[in-house]
């Protein structure tokens, strides 16, 4: 459902209203009752409701699946017959 922002031209009252897209504009200001309560042009806002929506759905990769990495190929190619690099002793992550 979209969230619409309204402002009263008479008293300056401003509020956001959650409305269906099929709903008409709100005719009167809830604060002073004047008929000059107009919908403002603002950034689109919406609210996700119902089953199937999760907080992690649209937050940077919360899907749980990860792309294939090249770490396996790197690990396989690092196993060689060459001696360990000087000073590492063979127990570091480079082997």
Binned at pLDDT 50, 70 and 90, residue 31 comes out as very high
Of 39 and 54, which is predicted with more confidence? 39
Report which of 41, 66, 45 is spatially closest to residue 2, judged by C-alpha positions: 45
Give residue 84's Cα distance to chain centre: 46
Cα angle value 44/50/56 (rounded, 5°): 70
For residue 2, what is the DSSP state? B
Q: What percent of the chain stands above pLDDT 70?
A: 47
- Give 3-state DSSP helix, strand, coil % of the chain, rounded to 5: 10, 15, 75
Q: What's the token pair of residue 94?
A: 């480079």
* Domain limits, the chain: 3-39
Poorest-confidence range of 8-12, 44-48, 80-84? 80-84
């Amino acid at each position: 459902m979209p969230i619409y922002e309204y402002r009263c031209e008479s008293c300056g009252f401003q509020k956001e209203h959650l409305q269906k897209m099929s709903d008409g504009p709100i005719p009167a200001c809830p604060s002073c009752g004047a008929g000059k309560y107009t919908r403002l042009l603002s950034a689109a806002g919406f609210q996700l409701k119902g089953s199937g929506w999760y907080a992690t759905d649209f937050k940077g990769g919360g899907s749980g699946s990860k792309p294939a990495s090249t770490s396996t190929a790197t690990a396989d190619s690092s196993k060689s017959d060459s001696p360990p690099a000087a000073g590492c002793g063979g127990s570091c992550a480079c082997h």
